[in-house]
Structure 1
Amino acid sequence: MMDVPGDLVAFLIEAKRRTYAGLDDDATVATPLLTGSKQLEHRAGSYAYRDIYFGMGFFVGQETVSRDDTVIWSMCYSGGARAEITDRTTLLALYKFLRRALLAAEIEKPYRGPPVLSVDDMTYRNDVEGSLDRFHGVETIAKAGVQLYELRYSGGLLR
């Protein structure tokens, strides 16, 4: 395992809470680097976080954390709602629950949400292996026992 900067985890959780998880697309920058993408950013001290993604129902993206303008950590992800879920209202409700789960990220595994979060008939699950230096995982959301969403992700410290 590589040596993880002590303040990286705290910054990563703060950055996620101040971008998509906490603000949805309201955190999107006006002029993204890649045409057609959503780009969310957060800076604090020597760290900078950037999340760039494409799509909504099914989406792909990459998060990066830079320290002193050098990218030191990254995570790629892809997934989304089941293909038959196409109406915007259902997608927005699903992603609202996802953001709630992401806000509950744990210090030990700050990549996405907690292992399990259940509210009413919605259940978020996150199964992850590894540590901040190298990890991969799958998160799902089910409603009344029927899976509606799946996302796969992986990443780690760059060297």
Structure 2
Amino acid sequence: MRERKKKGTKQMKNSYSITDLERFIVVAKSKTYVGGAQKLLPYRLASKDIQFADHEWSYHDSYFGDQDFIGQEVVYFHAEPVWAMNYYGYILDTELISSQEAGKMIMNSLTKLYAEGRFLGGFETSEDELRYDDSNEGDIRHFKGKERIFRNHIQVYELVYHGGLIK
């Protein structure tokens, strides 16, 4: 007698769980930008590209600019794109924060966030007179959010992001 499988109980070669995807994204993000990954040859003129791969998963972050920047992250499962995020970040007041200070605060803050095993908002941390705040709506399936830095209660940096599953 053939056994009948419940819908969603069998995991096919090209299927994955949302939990596995989220876990991979956190690891990839912690190993690339925050982890100081070596930049690749640019895929597009003047882009900065970094990658991470682990078995059937791969992650590619490609961005342009330094002080004000724009980029896109894409996650592939078995070489097929399954998730992506776009972002744009900029300094609001160069008299109150340098791009180096903002970058250091972002790296320190994201390191703490990824250590919690997550990458989406609802996170705040402070160092000296700087406060980092990340908030978002939605979940890994589809989301939008903002990352901000304040110096003594004055917003000096902002990054807007959005993304989700690719089907």
Q: Decide whether the 8 Å contact of 1:109 with 1:131 is kept in 2.
A: no
1:2-21 pair list within 5 angstroms: 4-21=17-34
CA RMSD, Structure 1 to Structure 2 (Å): 2.2
Change (3 A) 1:73 1:47: same
Deviation at 1:158, TM superposition (A): 0.6
- Show the counterpart of 1:59: 69
1:27 corresponds in structure 2 to: 38
Distance in 1 of aligned mates of 2:112 and 2:50: 19
Q: Conserved in 1, the CA contact under 8 Å of 2:90 and 2:157?
A: yes
What percentage of aligned pairs have identical amino acids? 30
Q: Secondary structure at the match of 1:22?
A: coil
Matched, 1:42 2:52: yes
Q: Match of 1:77?
A: 87
Task: Give the Cα separation in 2 of the matches to 1:120 and 1:73.
Answer: 35
* Per-residue CA distance 1:3-34 (angstroms, 9 max, x = gap): 843311111111111111121xx5211x1111
1:104 aligned partner: 112
**What is the Cα deviation at residue 78 of structure 1?**
0.5
Partner residue of 2:157? 149
> Which whole-Å deviations, capped at 9, do the CAs of 1:78-135 have from their partners, x for residues lacking one?
12212x418xx92112101101111122567524x65211122110001100010000
Unaligned runs of 5+ in 1: none
Q: What is the count of residue pairs matched by the alignment?
A: 151
SS of 1:6's equivalent in the other structure is helix
SS of aligned partner of 2:19: coil
**In 1, distance between residues paired with 2:68 and 2:164?**
23
Structure with max Cα Rg: 2
